[in-house]
Amino acid sequence: MSLMNSPTRVTVGDANYMDWTGVNNHYRTAYKVDDQKSVMDVALISNMDPVNIGLACSDKPGPVTSLKPRKKTMTSVYLKFFETAVDGKTRRCKFCGQSYSIATATGNLGRHLANRHPGYDKSGDAVSNSAARPITVVKKSQPPGKANQVDYDHLNWLLVRWLVLTALPPSILEEKWLVNSYKFLNPSIQLWPSDKYRTVLDEVFRSMREDVRALLEQVSSKLSITLDFWTSFEQIYYMSVTCQWIDENWCFQKLLLDICRIPYPCGSTEIYRSLVKVLKFYNIETRILSCTHDNSTSAMHACHTLKEDLDGQKIGPFCYIPCAARTLNVIIDDGLRSAKQVISKIREFVIELNASPVISEDFIQISTAYQEGMWKFPLDISARWSGNYQMLDLVRKAGKSVDAVIRKYEEMLGSRMLLGSSDKSVVSIMHQYLEPFYKTTNNICTSKVPTVGLVLFFMDHISETINSCRESRHSPEWLKNAAEEMAKKARNYIHQVCNIFTYMTAILDPRIKGELIPDSLNSETLLDEARSHFIRNYSTSHFSSMSSGYNAQEIEEAGSVSFAEEIARKKRRTTMSSATDELTQYLSEAPAPIPTDVLEWWKVNSTRYPRLSVMARDFLAVQATSVVPEELFCGKGDEIDKQRICMPHDSTQEILCIKSWIQVGVKFKFKSTEIDYERLMELAAAAAATDNSPASSDKKPK
């Protein structure tokens, strides 16, 4: 079935619009076409208008849809596809604008047509026929007083980019008043129908996904994956699968693999099947070392089934671990439960504060006068941990200013917002108790590479903080009860992550080694097992084949923080015995300071530990969290949730995947054609500047 259709020619538009057709010869730098693809491949499907993305030409005919030109013996047959310049010195191709000397042999003109415009002779008279080529911008003769019109397919491609980066569905472009706004600018503007946008996005998704698969084939180390889940407004259950690894330059890499719809009944079996399908598509099922899930029972059981499957095939070790960030978030929620009402009252005041420039300015002046700190508006009012702590922090540090502002604007705000002495006492106790949690989450969010070892280090500190509260004679009973619930969740997490693979991952963090590991993990037995694993899988005899697999059991990890050195000084342990192999030598040296860049440390020291560094590349890629911590603890997550939940099913996979791939540098492609938007805009701006120059203005008819 032919992919070609007959779109109408581009006509002359309003004088205020940019003339893109004047730079057609340069668009090959903005639209990079693979040599093996024909420009006809930009047509979409037979019952839709082909997409004109402004391609000037392609270097060779394509193997799939290109039409082989019939060999011509008469030279005159080529000349009708060229027009002679006014000066009589050059001929210009009517398809792409390429100019040739008038003395150029007609055989060369024929080769130009065959190579760059295959099928030119089967489309009829390209000059007189009212149907223009789908890759060509053709101008009609322009009546006096009118300027060139922009190629509106370029506008549509810019809108494709906008849809992706803003995570909006194509249906938004059919909104009546948005269309009216474009018509106001120029009545001749024609936007694609939403079905065409969906078709384009689907093809872009397929093209970019193939590039992602090719990229993963080049990765030499083990891979770790993370799973995240959500339910859309259509009550469709989704799973995102993300892959992480450390490249040969010791740079951390992260790549979204897919967003899958989990079919009903959305249980562990459906999750397992969807996950395996993704791994097999990318051909990485034999190279996965770990999976970090979202702590849900279904995800945990799916990972367990995957582990049994991989163990049964003797592919190598595979482990699954819970998300440390989600665990910590649940622990904090237990701690906040007793202060929920007070926090809600404070939030109501802060909402009014953010909404009124007059009140917020008064608050700044009053807090300055009371020396209660500098406050930047708007304040965080999200219902996430960062927003809740902001409420406590405001009253704890600027309580007098809060009272003064509420009393000053009592008629507007009402006296209900005033905090009583008991409320302030709760705020003070909770703020003091939860401050270490805030520092921990803040450091996890800002850490460059949150490793399993560092997360275990901080989770151990969190457990100690909770236990101190439970045992303190000064803690009120309501806080001790909250701490009891928090302790249960902390113990459950530690129980799940404590195993030989977590131990190996932790000690390969040069800041942690064996000295700062939680007591529950630190044992001679685990050290002996780790040494045995290293010798068995990374010794000289196995060194060349290491990347293909291991032999072991489970692995897990968590997050990262930064007020750590203070805790580290209290917990340093004596170093280990003298070196007999790389692992022993590595562990015998003192840990690096907590602020050390882990990957940079290994990059510098990999020559000292050539085999151990390969093991470190594999294990340090294991993720402690299944989601970016900032998206869980901070208000940024609200926007991400909104985008996910509101996205209709027919656009979710394509738009969210394409957006993620663009952000990590995967080229935006339509079939084989790379769409270089930055270059496109540069050329458009140059064309506009030329059109608006005094010289071009003088040439315009009056």
Binned at pLDDT 50, 70 and 90, residue 342 comes out as very high
| Residue 354, helix vs strand vs coil | helix
Q: Is the pLDDT of residue 564 over 60?
A: yes
| Closest among 22, 5, 8, 3 to 692, alpha carbons compared | 22
Q: Which of 103-112, 200-209, 302-311, 391-400 has the lowest mean pLDDT?
A: 103-112
State the pairing for strand pair 252-262/288-292: unpaired
Q: What is the mean pLDDT of the segment spanning 12-29?
A: 40
Asked whether 656 and 647 are in contact (CB, 8 A), the reply is yes
Highest mean pLDDT among 14-23, 299-308, 542-551: 299-308
Q: Dihedral of CA 578/582/584/587: which sign?
A: positive
Beta bridge partners of 90: 101
pLDDT by residue (tens digit) across 301-326? 999 999 999 988 888 789 999 999 99
State the alpha helices, DSSP H only, in 137-193.
152-166, 176-185
Q: Which of 3-12, 209-218, 356-365, 640-649 has the lowest mean pLDDT?
A: 3-12
Strand order in the sheet with 82-84: 82-84, 90-93, 99-101
| Residue 361 Cα to chain centre, angstroms | 37
Whole-number pLDDT of residue 293: 96
Contacts of 567 by beta carbon, 8 Å cutoff, 6+ apart = 457, 461
Q: How far apart are CA 285 and CA 279, in angstroms?
A: 5
| Residue 576 Cα to chain centre, angstroms | 42
Q: What is the mean pLDDT of the segment spanning 373-398?
A: 93
pLDDT by residue (tens digit) across 455-476? 999 999 999 999 999 999 899 9
**The Cα angle at residue 56 between residues 54 and 58, in degrees rounded to 5:** 120
Q: How far apart are CA 502 and CA 227, in angstroms?
A: 19
| Closest among 148, 146, 141, 172 to 159, alpha carbons compared | 172
Query: Could you tell me the two tokens for 132?
Result: 């223009």
494-527 residues labelled b (16+ CB within 10 A) or e (exposed): bebbbbbbbbbbbbbbbbbbbbbbbeebbeeebb
Q: Which residue in this structure is represented by tokens 């469709």?
A: 236
Q: How far apart are CA 165 and CA 204, in angstroms?
A: 14
State the pairing for strand pair 223-231/99-101: unpaired
Contacts of 288 by beta carbon, 8 Å cutoff, 6+ apart = 222, 223, 224, 225, 279, 310, 318
Task: Please report, to the nearest 10 degrees, the dihedral formed by the alpha carbons of residues 581, 584, 588, 592 taken in order.
Answer: 100
| Per-residue CA distances from 608 to 266, 467, 576, 585, 613 (Å) | 49, 41, 18, 10, 9
Q: How far apart are CA 160 and CA 155, in angstroms?
A: 9
Asked whether 99 and 117 are in contact (CB, 8 A), the reply is no
Q: Is 225 left (phi over 0), alpha (psi -120 to 50) or beta?
A: beta
